[in-house]
Chain A
């Protein structure tokens, strides 16, 4: 306890709330409120309506939702596979290999997402790998962007893992593949699901790289939100944004439930 007088404590808390609520809670509330109203000129929104949601889960916007879901699921599964493999290889290899892997796999975090998008666009717009104009180019860009986070969380979990289990299994004669499948991966399951959730959330909200390379028939939700607000339809955009936040939260919640079960098995 840093502040001992009661009055001073209340003062500190008041300042905290005065900073915290307007900066962090208000923006999310405002988006939800805007998505439910017809117009907003003045202090409070006016004309309550559910109409934006009707259009947010029909037609183009619904296509955008499924597009985003497919992209995010595909990208996070691919990233999880690549990141886990790399993390396992790094933990089994010597110090120097691990350093190299660390540096290489964390590099996409430092490179601006827009540049990742540009690079993927430049590389896959010509044979032999002509992906430009297909949904796969979006999935490739998202996978590149989120793999770093999968790698990071899985290697953090590997570093905390007690090697005694693996050593015991190996000592009892299990082959390396069997140890990996029956001991290491089950022990890693909680962090694998956490990493999957993180990758999913990042991919759902990815805008920068997507803006560089999305094909006209593969518009994820963030692009749809941008085109709506760019046209001036802020309220439709807000409704789509709420759908985006809701979907992300639902999936994260489901993932954390799986995670708890995996932990207490």
Chain B
């Protein structure tokens, strides 16, 4: 999903057509303006228009003073950081095995990952309810084995449940660019390093990682943005204790009908993720991945 457009070495059509080219660009930009940019501008405008009327920064001052906002901001950021770290570690190790310790069925695993990416994220949370819920598989195994009345797994309604679901869902987004980068790696380098006596971990650290670093950075920052914006997983968790920024937007707008505050939260959320996304574009352009 996140292949980045590779710039052609030079413009495909050169000279003379720039003016008409710019004209042809107008209709799609106009459509984008009506259906996306203008609505976004209205959100910003609404965030400066409190219900009492007039124009003021009141929704923001109220928001920044509210405990729930601070909590949502910290929760969002630490869940996103923890999930991204988990995705990077897991995605890197799984991709290393698929690429460099090949096994029969490795192709099928890559296919499965592609299919996995086309499913919505909230299905993971739904599945985790059966796996780690109070009467789920994991607790069933525990109570069956020890005879205890209840099992030890009770983390689904905590932020850790969200982290687990996000790691599960977003790890393939790290693996795809990594597998693409690994397939371009010259395996002769590995054989040389290995015949010179380097152990596998050293080869990974000194030969593979430097090559894969751009792809890793690109995948990681994309996943970070997607984790910051994730809503379905948090909604399905249904935990009152887990409030993230997107969840706060939903609560304020739909459940409390407080549009100015919802818009103010939305503006903060957009600034956070668009800033990071800009970083992702810069990194991935440099990576050429």
Contacts and interface: CB of A to CB of B under 8 A. Distances in A.
Nearest to B143: A42
A177 B192 CA distance: 54
27 contacts: A1-B102, A3-B200, A19-B93, A19-B94, A23-B167, A24-B113, A27-B131, A44-B137, A82-B28, A91-B13, A92-B21, A93-B18, A97-B25, A109-B277, A110-B274, A110-B277, A114-B231, A118-B249, A119-B42, A120-B35, A152-B3, A207-B120, A229-B129, A234-B130, A238-B126, A238-B130, A241-B126
Contact of B40 (A45, A91, A119): A119
B249 A114 contact: yes
A95 to B, nearest CB: 6
Contacts of A89: 21, 24-25, 28
B36 interface: yes
B94 A13 contact: no
Q: Is the interface of B mostly helix, strand, loop or mixed?
A: helix
Closest 9 CB pairs of A and B: A205-B120, A110-B277, A27-B127, A93-B21, A123-B39, A119-B39, A112-B229, A86-B28, A208-B231
Interface stretch (A47-55, A59-67, A244-252): A244-252
A231 to B, nearest CB: 11
Given A27-B131, A123-B42, A140-B35, A207 B101 contact: no
A205 B228 CA distance: 19
Contacts of A108: 36
Contact of B43 (A113, A118, A204): A118
A241 B39 CA distance: 32
A229 B156 CA distance: 15
B238 interface: yes
Contacts of B24: 85, 88-89, 92-93
B18 A94 contact: yes
Interface of A: 1-4, 8-9, 12-13, 15-16, 19-20, 23-28, 30-31, 33-34, 40-45, 82, 85-86, 88-95, 97-98, 101-102, 104-116, 118-124, 140, 143-144, 147, 149, 152-153, 155-156, 158-161, 163, 198, 201-202, 204-208, 211-212, 222, 225-226, 229-230, 234, 237-238, 241, 244-245, 248-249, 252
B273 A111 contact: yes
B11 interface: yes
B154 to A, nearest CB: 15
Contact of A248 (B4, B39, B119, B253): B119
